[in-house]
Amino acid sequence: MATIILIVHLMIAIALVASVLLQRSEGGALGIGGGGDGFVSSRGAGSMLTRTTAILAAMFMTTSLVLGILASRGGSADSVLDRVAPAPQTLSDDDLPQVPAPLGTEFAPAEEAPAAPEPAEPSVPRAE
């Protein structure tokens, strides 16, 4: 129920924005309104768009109130996340997958690792 009302609400909001943008600007605030030529005469277009905007605004307010009432009553609180089982809280070493070592490699513990050899003195030939 709430999903249908929400979809209708969004469609009304888009239509309301379109009807407001189609109206003629009286103050030239954006500089795009005006001009006597249009698809309807200026007087007819003004009254038609004004009436359409008023009807859409009333419908928008009504659907807003209905959605608010549904939300306050907990009408549609179902969520996909509510249906998902919670994950385990702690993981042990037994829960982790065991990955075998690549073939031909052996890993030595840190105390048995061979020490790196000391770097040799660089031999630089002397010019005589």
pLDDT one digit per residue (tens) for the chain, 128 residues? 888 999 999 999 999 999 998 887 665 555 555 555 555 555 556 688 889 999 999 999 999 999 999 888 875 456 666 667 676 667 666 666 777 766 666 655 556 556 667 777 767 676 66
Q: How far apart are CA 6 and CA 81, in angstroms?
A: 20
Q: Whole-structure pTM over 0.75, yes or no? A: no
Instruction: Show the CA angle centred on residue 106, arms to residues 105 and 107, nearest 5°.
Output: 125
Task: Give 67's contacts (C-beta < 8 A, 6+ positions apart).
Answer: 2, 5, 6, 9
Enter the DSSP assignment of 124.
-
DSSP state of 92: -
B/e letters for 36-69, b = 16+ CB within 10 Å, e = fewer, are eeeeeeeeeeeeebeebbeebeebbeebeebbee
